[in-house]
């Protein structure tokens, strides 16, 4: 389920903000190889609530070690905000299972809830509240993308870290979730975000953010 305009790979100028009020509620999304619900493309005032998302075991290809493509679409993942501002994701249930690509290989990264910047702009002012992430995946929650990987010549230049600021993750329940890497991942470009709840394992940039772990 896609909401918002997709960002072109190389926009000549910053994309305008898509400011219509959007509400996505009471849907059941099953067996989708990408992200079950994706809001992307520099937009604001989106509400995603009371949905059931079960991506299933078949996953699209996403370059390792990232959890999403540049437009924020993931692999067999739950709900993702890419380049989205001042929006709310609440009271949703995401159930992950071990996922594989069409080659039979395990997918590089899956997650229940994701927020990341995109090429046209960062992600800021979003609230993830009262969601439940169950099952088994790489992470329950992701803010940002992994640090750039430096490759020797003639490899491609590393991707720049995305920008995520002033986002709040609060009281999202992860009981019954098993993370193959961690419960929460915070990217190197994510700063001044707040994370409140239970995070048995945390990976990434905790120093640049507020984490209240009970």
Label the pairing between strands 52-54 and 139-143: unpaired
pLDDT at 207 over 90: yes
Contacts of 131 (CB under 8 A, 6+ apart): 79, 89, 90, 91, 92, 93, 94, 112, 113, 172, 173
Token pair, residue 55, equals: 């991506």
Given this model, what pLDDT does residue 113 score? 97
pLDDT band of residue 12 (cuts 50, 70, 90) is very low
| % of the chain at pLDDT higher than 70 | 84
What is the percentage of the chain residues whose pLDDT exceeds 90?
A: 63
> What are 81's two structure tokens?
């905000």
Question: Residue 131: its pLDDT value, please?
Answer: 98
* Per-residue CA distances from 138 to 6, 27, 81, 98, 142 (Å): 26, 24, 18, 9, 10
Over residues 91-136, the pLDDT tens digits come to 999 999 999 988 888 988 999 999 999 877 889 999 999 999 999 9
CB 171 within 8 A of CB 131: no
pLDDT at 41 over 50: yes
Please give the pLDDT value at position 127: 98
What is the total residue count of the chain?
214
Q: What are the structure tokens assigned to 183, written together?
A: 């419960």
Confidence of residue 19 (pLDDT cuts 50, 70, 90): low
Q: Is the pLDDT of residue 9 over 60?
A: no
Question: CA dihedral defined by 73, 77, 79, 80, rounded to 10 degrees?
Answer: -30
pLDDT band of residue 77 (cuts 50, 70, 90) is very high
First to last CA, the chain: 33
Contact indicator for 54, 47 with CB cutoff of 8 Å: no
Dihedral pair phi/psi, residue 84, rounded to 5°? -100, 145
Q: Sign of torsion, CA 11 125 200 204?
A: positive
SS3 track for 167-203: CEEECCECCCEEECCCCEEECCCEECCEEEECCCCEE
| Top-confidence residue, 146 or 184 | 184
Say if residue 65 is preceded by a cis peptide, omega within 30 of 0: yes
Mean pLDDT (the chain, rounded): 87
Average pLDDT over residues 41-67: 88
**Residue pLDDT, tens place only, 130-155:** 999 999 999 999 999 865 555 556 65
Distance CA 131, CA 128 (A): 7
């Amino acid at each position: 389920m896609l909401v918002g305009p997709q960002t072109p790979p190389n926009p000549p100028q910053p994309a305008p903000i898509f400011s219509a009020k959007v509400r996505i509620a009471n849907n059941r999304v099953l067996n989708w190889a990408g992200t079950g619900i994706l809001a992307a493309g520099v937009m604001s005032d989106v509400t995603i609530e009371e949905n059931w998302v079960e991506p299933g075991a078949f996953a699209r290809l996403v370059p390792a070690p990232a959890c999403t493509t540049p437009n924020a679409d993931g692999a067999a993942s739950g709900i993702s905000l890419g380049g989205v501002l001042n929006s709310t994701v609440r009271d949703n249930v995401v159930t992950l299972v071990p996922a594989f690509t069409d080659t039979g290989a395990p997918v590089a990264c899956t997650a229940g809830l994701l927020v990341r910047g995109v090429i046209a702009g960062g992600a800021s002012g979003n609230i993830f509240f009262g969601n439940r992430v169950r099952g088994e995946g790489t992470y329950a929650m992701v803010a940002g993308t992994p640090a750039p990987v430096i490759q020797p010549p003639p490899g491609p230049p590393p991707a720049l870290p995305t920008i995520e600021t002033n986002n709040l993750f609060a009281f999202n329940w992860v009981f019954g979730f098993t993370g193959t890497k961690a419960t929460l991942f915070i990217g190197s470009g994510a700063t001044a975000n707040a994370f409140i709840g239970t995070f048995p394992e945390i990976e990434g940039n905790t120093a640049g953010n507020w984490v209240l772990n009970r």
